[in-house]
Structure 1
């Protein structure tokens, strides 16, 4: 099982509509185990992250107004990627672990930027 990141919009009827992932994009936000091993890890919490650690206990649901702050948190993680890699246990080599985190973070950032551009929200589930 793996985590997915999706963009949603709220329709005129107040219902959330999860959008299809655009061609050429991915929705992979990491393995299910990353809820605690990476995104909710103590090292991520120690950086002051508030959104990603939610994944340790629940799905992450970001309303449109939260997306700019979430993108800032993504930048915080990106700027501290070496600390995150050092503070989490790799499944394979350290280099592969770093690349996997970087790739998944890029996918999450891309989804958040799409959400921001259309006034939508983000789900990681």
Structure 2
């Protein structure tokens, strides 16, 4: 299984509506095992990240009023991607692992930009 990233809106009735992924965008957010080996890893936690480590135990919903802070955490992850990719991945070289994380992080960042523009939130599940 893989993790997906989506933008959601909260309706007036409090209902959460997940928006379709626009053409040309990707909802890929990583492999299921990345909940603990990448996004919830000790390297990410050591950076002081608070959003991504939630994925180690559950899905992540970033409320609309938290998206700016979430985008800052995405930038922190991007700035430290080499450190995060240093974790053991027996299936890929370090370069391939780094590239894979960067690709999925870009999808997450793109979703966060869309969410912020629309006044919505971000879900990784």
- TM-score scaled to structure 1, two decimals? 0.97
1:112 aligns with 2:90: no
SS at match of 1:39: coil
1:78 aligns with 2:71: no
Number of paired residues?
124
Structure 1: segments with no counterpart, 5+ residues: none
Q: Which residue of 2 aligns with 1:102?
A: 102
State the alpha-carbon separation in 1 of the partners of residues 44 and 100 from structure 2: 16
The alpha-carbon deviation at position 4 of structure 1 amounts to 0.4
Q: Which residue of 2 aligns with 1:89?
A: 88
State the alpha-carbon separation in 1 of the partners of residues 22 and 74 from structure 2: 21
1:36 aligns with 2:36: yes
State the alpha-carbon separation in 2 of the partners of residues 14 and 31 from structure 1: 30
- Which consecutive aligned stretches of 4+ in structure 1 deviate over 2 angstroms post-superposition? none
Q: Which residue of 1 aligns with 2:60?
A: 60
Pairwise CA RMSD: 0.7
